Amino acid sequence: MRRIITVALLLYSWTLTGQENQVIPGEIKYRTFVNEPLTLKKGFFVIQSAFSTTIIDQLFNDSGDKEYFTDNLWASGILIFPNINYGLSDQIELELSTSYESTVVRSSSEFTIPSSYYAVIQESRGKRVGLGDISLGVHYQLIPENIAGSGLVSTLRVILPTGKAGIQEQTDTAGLFEVKEGIGTGALGLSGTILYRKSFFPFSTQLFFDYKYGFRGEKVFYAGDVSPSEFQGSSYYSLTANFNIQLNDWIALRQQLFYSQNKRERLLTEEAESTYLLQYTPFVSFQIKSFRVIQAFGLPLKGKNTGADKNFTVILRYIL
């Protein structure tokens, strides 16, 4: 029984201030992530996409130790997270997002046929390619940013199972076992986020709490299965702390510490497997007027039953 090993890196970009009032468009468009409004101002659009890539060959095991995959396993992947945001008012922002993934996992193993001297090499290849689920979100300023530089934003997201989910194709010919899997979750999801920001220009700090619950769904769960099975979707919570500094009108830096605990999706007859991850990520943002390029390098520090590979992300953002 083989399961496709994948990596997902989800980076969330923050657009960020308070009551409806008259503002100069350029003043809002040209701010960095240090002092931009807590939510988009009324009538503004943001088009953004994050591109993340990694080479997959390490994991944190059940004891929390980092080790390399066995059985000559090697994988690489790229993930793209496009989203569009719109300022419905100065305190309410709408979000539409999805994802695209292209991941390939290869492995090979050698075994001897009993009562013979023949060795057989079995190769396996797994692919995850395609569009993921669609997410609809609403950001609302619970406490608009005040003169002291403090503000609080809540976000509610509904994840619609629009992407293809589960095993789509599987073949076993001439010593090659190949599986193609959709990247959709196959189950409805609901998530909520609370963001607190404190600004003291040219610095700012951000604290996030995020929780997601996955409902039940049905899909072909494991390679080798021929019919769909009912399963429980994954759930997680995460804590994120950011420290931001603006160097000049074009360059801003971010230091991020991220912690998450996750209960993986499972068949209803299985016990839930828990994982956790602690990761440090430095960011560099370069901005020319309303166009921004952010580069990030994720460094997993500690974890359990999860990937331990470094990852590189580029985020492109344009405000209209």
Listed in sequence order, the residues at least 6 apart from 37 whose beta carbon sits closer than 8 Å to its beta carbon are: 15, 16, 17, 18, 28, 31, 90, 145
Q: Is residue 231 part of a domain?
A: yes
Q: Is residue 41 part of a domain?
A: yes
Band of residue 24 on the pLDDT scale cut at 50, 70, 90: very low
Mean pLDDT of the chain: 85
Q: How many angstroms separate the CA atoms of 246 and 316, rounded?
A: 18
Q: Is residue 84 part of a domain?
A: yes
**Token representation of residue 142:** 């619970």
* Domain coverage including residue 283: 25-101+132-168+181-319
Q: Is residue 126 part of a domain?
A: no
Neighbours of 153 (CB within 10 A): 25
Please list the alpha-helical segments (H only) found in the chain. 25-29
Q: Is residue 124 part of a domain?
A: no
Q: Is residue 192 part of a domain?
A: yes
Band of residue 175 on the pLDDT scale cut at 50, 70, 90: low
pLDDT at 294: 97
Q: Is residue 175 part of a domain?
A: no
CATH number of 305's domain: 2.40.160.40
pLDDT at 28: 59
Q: For residue 197, which of 2, 71, 35 has the smallest C-alpha distance?
A: 35
Q: Is residue 118 part of a domain?
A: no
Q: How many angstroms separate the CA atoms of 258 and 251, rounded?
A: 23
Mean pLDDT within 196-221: 95
Residue 12 pLDDT > 60:
no
> How many domains are contained in the chain?
1
Distances (CA, A) of 236 to 143, 168, 261, 306: 26, 26, 6, 13
- Pick 173 or 192 by higher pLDDT: 192
